[in-house]
């Protein structure tokens, strides 16, 4: 019986690895989606709070432009450096 279980596990090893990689990708995508939505919410909420509190919106525009340009400069190698398509067994 132990011999049959070992043979079954060895045959399913590749499928188990593929499923683990798929679960890790889903978790990573979920975390990235949450971070993106949080950043979008803050980007909309902060100017609204500044307006309601009486602060000038211009005091927000300069740091926001700096944030967006710095983010673009830092993240553009990651975005544009990726190859189209993908391999099923690429490292995360």
**Assigned domain for 6 exists:** yes
**Assigned domain for 24 exists:** yes
pTM: 0.50
**Assigned domain for 85 exists:** no
- Domain extent, residue 73, equals 2-80
- 44's tokens: 């909309």
d(CA 23, CA 17): 10
Q: What is the pLDDT of residues 27-59, one digit of tens each?
A: 988 988 988 898 889 888 887 887 788 777 677
């Amino acid at each position: 019986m132990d011999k049959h279980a070992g043979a079954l596990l060895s045959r399913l090893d590749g499928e188990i690895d593929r499923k683990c990689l798929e679960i890790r990708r889903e978790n990573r995508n979920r975390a990235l989606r949450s971070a993106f939505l949080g950043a979008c919410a803050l980007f909309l909420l902060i100017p609204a709070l500044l307006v309601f509190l009486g602060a000038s919106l211009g005091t927000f525009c300069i740091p926001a432009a700096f944030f967006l340009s710095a983010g673009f400069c830092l993240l553009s190698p990651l975005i544009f450096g990726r190859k189209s398509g993908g391999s099923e067994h690429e490292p995360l």
